[in-house]
Amino acid sequence: MSIKIALLGCGTVGTQVARLLKEQNDLLSARAGAELELIGISVSNLETQRDPVIDRALLTTDSRALIERADIVIELIGGIEPPRTLVRYALESGASVVTGNKALLAEHGPELYDLAKAANVDLYYEAAVAGAVPVVYAVRESLAGDSVKAIKGILNGTTNYILDEMTTKGLAFDEVLATAQELGYAEAEPSADVDGRDAAAKIAILASLAFHKRVSLADVDVEGIRSITSADIEAAAKNNFVIKLVATAAQTGGKIEVRVAPTLVPTAHPLASISGSFNAVVIEAESADRLMFYGRGAGGTPTASAVLSDVVAAAAKKVVGGRAPQEIVLGESEFVPACEAVSRYFVRLRVNDVVGVLAELSRAFADSGVSISAVRQDSDDESGRASLTITTHAATAADMAATIESVSKVSDVREIVRVLRVEDE
Q: Would you name the residues annotated as active-site residues?
A: 202
Q: Does the annotation list 187 as a binding residue?
A: yes
The angle at the Cα of 258, spanning 257 to 261, to the nearest 5 degrees, equals: 120
From the CA atom positions of the chain, what is the Rg in Å? 24
Residue spans of alpha helices (H) in 69-221: 83-92, 102-119, 135-137, 157-169, 173-183, 191-194, 197-211
Q: Please, are residues 419 and 400 in contact by the beta-carbon 8 Å criterion? A: yes
Q: Does the annotation list 14 as a binding residue?
A: yes
Question: Rounded to an integer, what distance in angstroms lies between the CA atom of residue 121 and that of residue 382?
Answer: 66
Q: Does the annotation list 47 as a binding residue?
A: no
Judged by phi (left if over 0) then psi (alpha if -120 to 50, else beta), residue 398 lies in: alpha
Q: Does the annotation list 340 as a binding residue?
A: no
Q: Does the annotation list 10 as a binding residue?
A: yes
Q: Does the annotation list 8 as a binding residue?
A: yes
> What does the buried/exposed string (b/e) look like for 208-246 if buried means 16 or more CB atoms within 10 Å of the residue's CB?
bbbbebbbbbebbbbbbbeebebebbebbeebebbbbbb
3-state secondary structure of 117: helix
Q: Does the annotation list 11 as a binding residue?
A: yes
Q: Does the annotation list 15 as a binding residue?
A: yes
The CB density around residue 424, as the number of other CB atoms within 10 Å, is 10
Bind-site residues: 8-15, 102, 187
Binding residues for NADP(+): 8-15
Annotated binding site for L-homoserine, which residues?
187
